[in-house]
Amino acid sequence: MKKLLVLLMMSMLLLAACSSGASNSNESEEGSDSNQITIWAWDPKFNIKAIELAKEAYASVNPDLKINVIENGQRDIVQKLNTSLSSGTSKGLPNIVLIEDYRAKSFLEAYPDMFQPLTGSFKTEDFVPYKVEATSVNGENYGLPFDTGVTGLYVRTDYLAEAGFTIEDLQNIDWKEYIEIGKKVKEATGKRLLTLDPNELGFLRTMIQSAGKWYVKEDGTTPDLANNEAVKRSFEIYKELVDNDLMNFHSDWNQFLATFNGGEVATVSTGNWITPSIKAEASQSGKWAVVPHPSLPGMESVNASNLGGASWYVLNVPGKEKAVDFLTKTFGSNVDLYQKLVTDIGVIGTYIPATKGEAYKTGDEFFGGQAIISDFSKWAEEIPQVNYGMHTYAIEDILIVAMQNYLGGQDLDKVLKDAQQQAEMQIK
Amino acid sequence: MRILTNRIRHNSLFFKMFLITILIIVTISSLITWTTFRMSEKFFIDRFSFNNSKMIDQIKESVGTFQYSIVIASNNLLNNSTIKSFLTGKHSNVQLGSYYYQVKKQMNNIKTSVEAYDVGIMVYGINGISFATERSSWAVSDEELQNHSITKKTLKQPNKLLFHLEQPRNQTKGENVIIATKAFMEPTSKYIYGTMYFTIREKEFRKFYSSYTSLGNDVLVMDPSGTVLSSNRDEYIGNKEEELKDYAIQLEEQQKDYMDADFKGKDHLIMIEYLPTFDLYLVNLIDKKAAFGNIIDKKSIVLICILFIFLAIIIVFFASRKVTNSLSNLVKQIENTPKNDFDHYISVKGTYETRQIGQAFNSMLDELHEYVDELVLIQNQKRNAELAALQQQINPHFLYNTLTSIKFMVQQGGKEEATDTINAFISLLQNTIGNISETITVRQEINNLKSYVLINQKRYGERIRVNYFIDPNCFNSQIPKLILQPFIENAFFHGFNKKSGGTINVLIWEEEATLVCEVLDNGDGMEVSVNNKLPDTKRKQEMFSGIGVRNVHERIQLIYGEAYGVSISSEIGKGTKVRISLPVQKN
């Protein structure tokens, strides 16, 4: 009886299946389709928007190319790239991927064959030099530079005025002068100078890059901490800021935003990408200005540095020619696109010819009419070239500990020596 | 129209049979289809409830593991002195900086227990200081946190690990977050120094069960108030589903695995499992229509059924048509048989039954025929016998009248006359009573007539003369006995009541095969009735035998058939003509 029932059911199912028609076969073909490319990037409000604008611009050049933009978190992209590249398979990889400059070398050096060299396909002299350096390995250009993380010192002009300063007093100063001003501002307003997350040393990075130094030597692999004057001075300045209670602490991004939006600090020293967050507090319009990044005192250093920024890389998978064509004809040469990037999203590119455009020269009322984009672009060109190497974040983890030890009263030389040893051990 | 109704009448058996068969086929097919639907649905429900209870077990397990990792993390947080001192007391800015560093270190350790899940940990102390490992999914400021309903609820039940749903304040950005909270409480002193929050995006939490869900097979996680914390169906999240809460209570009371119930106006199979450690309900909703409706394609089954029914009807139509056709043909033939015509045999064909009926009908007709023939024969014989009897009967009046006449002749001395009369009388009696054969020759009949006429002339005088004109060929022809005598008798006694005398002519000749005898008189004549009936003889005593003119016609037809008989034409004042036609019969 049961068998019969099952049989009946089966036949009914069969009939039903027969009549339900063809199933939809809509599988996506990855890369194998010669007329489409895939791009991975993170941050839908920034990078994804930028790539969409580039897509629009490219439609007039080659309307047939289908461009799939896939949004993934940065962590996911790094993880997927590492997994795919280390397993040696190119399947499932995109044609173009956005990689943070600090991490780029770790991929380029570990998997040189998997990336398509772009040398000669765009004019490197049209891009700011530090960015070209960051995207190149052994004289080959691999990345097409995208945004710049050029830093500036965002300052509250009203607090400065209370202490009797104008922005003129802050042009091209070094950190020592900055601290002196900070003390007076605190005296006058009770506000601390700036806020930092003790678990993150981006601040330190900007300081050492302004002196043309990095955590590693020019070869990109040898840790350079114990005898690195820039690191040493940066540590000292950090401690001085803390000791003079000029440093506010936050523990995460939300607190960071809340601190300056709430008017708790007089300045913010970070990359230009913070501009939208500063402007988010509309009530502070006209109270902010941007001045050049302070330089390191007592050594060769410029009033410009960088924090963050990413570039586009083409992977050595089928469709790479199309991908290269897409990048070079958009981010590689399209001045108009860069104007749109500035006006629509606020992305400051590293393409020098674009800085002559109208959008770059427009003044921003929030910053008292200052043409901040133009200023940032100018500073970007001055940023010293450094080889970020492969181990930025690994060494930084060591330095975070070292900084706490130093703040806790240990001798700076010893702290850095220990850090150097630890870094050498870890990296090798 | 009449043809149509006739057709229907003739085929009524077919129509009845056909309609009943269709009715039965349709009813049975519908019943079977319906039963199949029900059975398969039950089958699938059983399957589903079995599979889904397994599924729920697995979900419970994975959610349990998740919860356990959170419990471990919360215990570690509770036992962590760095965090405790971070959350209590006032810290200078510099201290805070180093705390942030240390707490981060501790947190990284603690976080390892929830590493497998995308969980953010946040702690918030009574001193208003917070630390979050990952705040992006739940962006909330310290001030908001202090007055947050989640914080308040947690502090009310400091011992419990509570689960909450936090929905984004504006719909466009942010996403649903599930937050597990517990208060920081010293175990002995019951001193509460903060709150811990484990945040997991609802989309991540969903992964515990979303792989088990399918179209019409939904999973919800609901708190005891009926609020849906998480579901693979976005539209349910955050809703208060009182219905489900009631079902949960019912299921618990009845200790059943699942129930059939209505949810959002649709028929659902509902399984609800209480997760005591969570104080949450795990709800599995199976939309019967969506889940089973797809498995059983009712539409095509019904279509196939209809197709089969249609085919069956066509087959039944032709088959029953064939069976009933022979029967209705038979009926038609029988019906067409005229009432009196028993020769109309029907053709024997068709099925065994109809052939048998046809044969029976035909043999019945045969028997009927035989019977009727026999009956006719008997009737004829009977009538013949009657007529014969009448013929033998010599009217006694005639006898004694004649004898009286002879007596008078003798008395008056007419010896010769008396002798002639007696001779004629003797010959008459001889021929009528003595001769037993039914027919006699024309000659004998004429002799009889002559004898009869002679007797009558002797009795009543010779005012009526009788002439005989006989074709000599006819003398030997056979005719029934006493066939002419009644007409002569009639003419004698009725033809000449007004006239004083006249002539009676008897003519006999042959016309082809017909022997024609005419009795003509030139007497009074009479009214001849339309149907050619002869008048009755009133004076009975005048008659010679039992046979009157009336009987003659009847007798001739009885013997020779309808083609022969007596016809009378008469004209008043001129005379009467009686014409008798008979077949020529010679020995």
Name the strand (E) or helix (H) holding B271: strand B266-275
Q: Hey, are the CB atoms on A251 and B131 less than 8 Å from each other?
A: yes
CATH number of A36-149+307-379: 3.40.190.10
Q: pLDDT at position A25, please?
A: 38
Q: Chain A window 139-198: which residues touch B at a Cβ cutoff of 8 Å?
A: 192, 196-198
- For chains A and B, CB pairs below 8 A equal 81
Q: How far is A199 from chain B (nearest CA, A)?
A: 6
DSSP A349: B
Compute the distance between CA of residue B373 and CA of residue B377 in angstroms, rounded to an integer.
Answer: 6
Question: Among partner residues A196, A252, A407, which is closest to B98 by beta-carbon distance?
Answer: A407
- State residue B534 phi and psi, 5-degree precision: -90, 145
> How much is the average pLDDT of A352-369?
89
- Rounded to whole angstroms, the maximal C-alpha distance in chain A is 98
Q: Hey, are the CB atoms on A249 and B141 less than 8 Å from each other?
A: no
Q: Which of A184-193, B435-444, B520-529 has the highest average model confidence (pLDDT)?
A: A184-193
Asked whether the domain spanning A151-305+391-427 has the same topology as the one spanning A36-149+307-379, the reply is: yes
Q: Hey, are the CB atoms on B40 and A9 less than 8 Å from each other?
A: yes
Size of chain B in residues: 587
pLDDT digits 0-9 by tens, B387-427: 777 766 777 778 888 888 888 888 888 888 888 888 888 88
- Per the CB < 8 A criterion, the answer to whether B114 and B69 are in contact is yes
Exposure of B21 in the CB half-sphere (CA atoms within 13 A): 19
Residue B252 corresponds to which tokens in the numbers above? 């618990």
Q: What angle do CA B268, B232, B177 make, to 5 degrees?
A: 135
Q: How confident is the model at residue A32 (pLDDT cuts 50, 70, 90)?
A: very low
Instruction: List beta partners, residue B177.
Output: B166, B201
pLDDT digits 0-9 by tens, A189-208: 999 999 999 888 999 999 99
Cβ of residue A280 closer than 8 Å to a chain B Cβ: no
Q: How confident is the model at residue A154 (pLDDT cuts 50, 70, 90)?
A: very high
The 8 Å CB, 24+ separation contacts for B148-156 are: B150/B179, B150/B181, B150/B197, B151/B124, B151/B181, B151/B195, B153/B181, B154/B181, B154/B182, B154/B183, B154/B195, B155/B183, B155/B192, B155/B195
Q: What angle do CA A122, A123, A126 make, to 5 degrees?
A: 130
DSSP B433: I
Sheet holding A151-156, edge to edge: A267-271, A151-156, A288-291
pLDDT digits 0-9 by tens, B430-459: 877 776 667 888 888 888 888 888 888 888
Q: How confident is the model at residue A418 (pLDDT cuts 50, 70, 90)?
A: very high
Residues of chain A with Cβ-Cβ distance to B136 below 8 Å are 253-254
Question: Among partner residues A12, A196, A247, which is closest to B296 by beta-carbon distance?
Answer: A12
Q: pLDDT at position A37, please?
A: 92
Q: How confident is the model at residue A416 (pLDDT cuts 50, 70, 90)?
A: very high
- Please give the sequence-ordered ranges of beta strands (E in DSSP) within B434-482, or none if there are none: 439-441, 464-470, 478-480
Share of chain B above pLDDT 70, in %: 92
Q: How confident is the model at residue B22 (pLDDT cuts 50, 70, 90)?
A: confident
Q: How far is B100 from chain A (nearest CA, A)?
A: 6
Compute the distance between CA of residue A237 and CA of residue A235 in angstroms, rounded to an integer.
Answer: 5
Q: Hey, are the CB atoms on B100 and A20 less than 8 Å from each other?
A: no
pLDDT digits 0-9 by tens, B221-275: 888 888 888 888 888 888 888 888 888 888 888 887 788 888 888 888 888 888 8
Average model confidence (pLDDT) for chain A? 87
- Per the CB < 8 A criterion, the answer to whether B169 and B184 are in contact is no
Q: Hey, are the CB atoms on B98 and A5 less than 8 Å from each other?
A: no
Contacts of residue B90, Cβ cutoff 8 Å, sequence gap at least 6? B127
Angle B549-560/B352-392 helices, nearest 10 degrees?
140
Candidates B157, B122, B112; CA nearest to B142 is B122
Average model confidence (pLDDT) for chain B? 83
> How much is the average pLDDT of A281-300?
92
Q: Hey, are the CB atoms on B93 and A197 less than 8 Å from each other?
A: no
Residue of A247, A252, A255, A277 to mutate when probing chain B, most B C-beta within 10 A: A252
Cβ of residue A251 closer than 8 Å to a chain B Cβ: yes
Candidates B215, B244, B275, B258; CA nearest to B62 is B275
Contacts of residue B545, Cβ cutoff 8 Å, sequence gap at least 6? B390, B391, B392, B393, B394, B395, B398, B432, B482, B485
Question: Among partner residues B43, B94, B100, which is closest to A199 by beta-carbon distance?
Answer: B100
- Residue B294 predicted with pLDDT over 80: no
What is the residue-wise DSSP string for A243-285? HTT-EEE-SSHHHHHHHHHTT-BSEEEEEGGGHHHHHT-GGGT
Give residue for tokens 């506010």: A248
Q: Can you tell me the ipTM of this complex?
A: 0.76
- Per the CB < 8 A criterion, the answer to whether A400 and A201 are in contact is yes
Name the strand (E) or helix (H) holding B61: helix B12-79
Q: Which CATH architecture has domain A151-305+391-427?
A: 3-Layer(aba) Sandwich (3.40)
Q: pLDDT at position A89, please?
A: 81
Q: What is the pTM of this model?
A: 0.63
> How much is the average pLDDT of B301-314?
89
Give residue for tokens 């100018």: A378
Contacts of residue B34, Cβ cutoff 8 Å, sequence gap at least 6? none
- Residue A23 predicted with pLDDT over 50: no
Cα distances from B352 to residues A149, A422, B323, B391, in angstroms, run 106, 112, 10, 58
pLDDT digits 0-9 by tens, B29-65: 889 888 988 888 788 878 877 888 888 888 888 888 8
Structural domains of chain B ordered from first start: 80-205 (3.30.450.220), 393-583 (3.30.565.10)
Compute the distance between CA of residue A97 and CA of residue A146 in angstroms, rounded to an integer.
Answer: 12
Question: Among partner residues A16, A258, A408, which is closest to B297 by beta-carbon distance?
Answer: A16
Cβ of residue B304 closer than 8 Å to a chain A Cβ: yes
What's the Rg (C-alpha) of chain A? 25
Contacts of residue B227, Cβ cutoff 8 Å, sequence gap at least 6? B165, B238, B239, B240, B241
Residue A7 corresponds to which tokens in the numbers above? 């049989």
Q: How far is A197 from chain B (nearest CA, A)?
A: 8
Of A386-400, B13-27, B535-549, the least confident = B535-549
Residue in chain A closest to B130 (alpha carbons) equals: A251
Residue type, A99: I
pLDDT digits 0-9 by tens, A81-98: 988 888 888 888 999 999
Residues of chain B with Cβ-Cβ distance to A242 below 8 Å are 94, 97
Residues of chain B with Cβ-Cβ distance to A245 below 8 Å are 93-94
- Residue A243 predicted with pLDDT over 80: yes
- CA A144 to centroid of chain Cα atoms: 14
pLDDT digits 0-9 by tens, A100-148: 999 998 898 888 888 999 988 899 899 998 899 889 888 889 999 998 9
Q: How far is B205 from chain A (nearest CA, A)?
A: 18
Q: How confident is the model at residue A179 (pLDDT cuts 50, 70, 90)?
A: very high
Contacts of residue A126, Cβ cutoff 8 Å, sequence gap at least 6? A333, A351, A352, A353
**Domains of chain A: which residue ranges?**
36-149+307-379, 151-305+391-427
Q: pLDDT at position A31, please?
A: 40
